[in-house]
Amino acid sequence: MDGQIKNSQLVIWAPVIVVLISSCSSFIFSTFIQEWAWIPVAIFYWGSMFAFIYFFTTKKERSKWLSKARGHAGWKAGTVLAGLFPLTILFTNMGLLRESIAVTVFWLLFALVNPFFEEGFWRGLLLDKLPFASIHTKILYSTVLFIVSHPLLWGIFSIANRSYMLFASLLIMSIVWSYAYYRIGSLRWPIFSHFLVDIGNLSVFTFLNLYIPPTM
């Protein structure tokens, strides 16, 4: 029983620890390699999230995240819709993809990998394991720290990740993905939606400041 209480308390601190580790790596590496710090930052970020996921969830629980979604077609459609909005950024900046094959490859790899780690941690682990009685409190806690993580990780070297417009988008997407997970019992659709977002917002291009929102 004491062990369960300690684990629950540690889960509360898990996102703070993940953000702290990743933010420190961002400060350190950006000093030496500027925007290309995104690569070691991603490694530290994914690694710290994976550690918490591995030690605080079982194989059965992780399998549930990728299980077939239940009904609620409206939540599935809403989740996909949330991921479609950033595609306008991609469609209006297609020329960037021709400027650097290497960056384009990194962009695609990031979009394929990142959603599994972030959805597994911010939605899967936290919403399953946070010791709060209310679902809404769990979602609020996870969402706030998910939003804060972006300027503290990527925003140290990426101008786009300091935008107030980004924070508004993250708020909407996190809430949609969180409630969708509760409604459909699977992370398949949030992961797919997150993939669309990382494709549409030109993630790696923004890390390298090759794309900066015109409003900034």
Domain boundaries along the sequence of the chain: 2-207
* Residue 8, pLDDT score: 75
Q: Which residue has the tokens 């950033």?
A: 86
Burial 26-39 (b: 16+ CB within 10 A, else e): beebbeeeebebbe
DSSP 34: G
Residue 209 burial (CB < 10 Å; 0-12/13-18/19+)?
Answer: middle
In whole angstroms, give the CA distance from residue 146 to residue 15: 8
In whole angstroms, give the CA distance from residue 200 to residue 149: 20
Q: What is the mean pLDDT of each run of 10 residues along the chain (216 residues)?
A: 62 97 98 98 98 96 94 90 95 94 97 98 97 96 98 97 93 97 96 98 97 83
* Residue 107, pLDDT score: 98
* Residue 216, pLDDT score: 66
In whole angstroms, give the CA distance from residue 141 to residue 12: 9
* Residue 1, pLDDT score: 47
Burial 107-125 (b: 16+ CB within 10 A, else e): beebbeebbbbbbbbbbbb
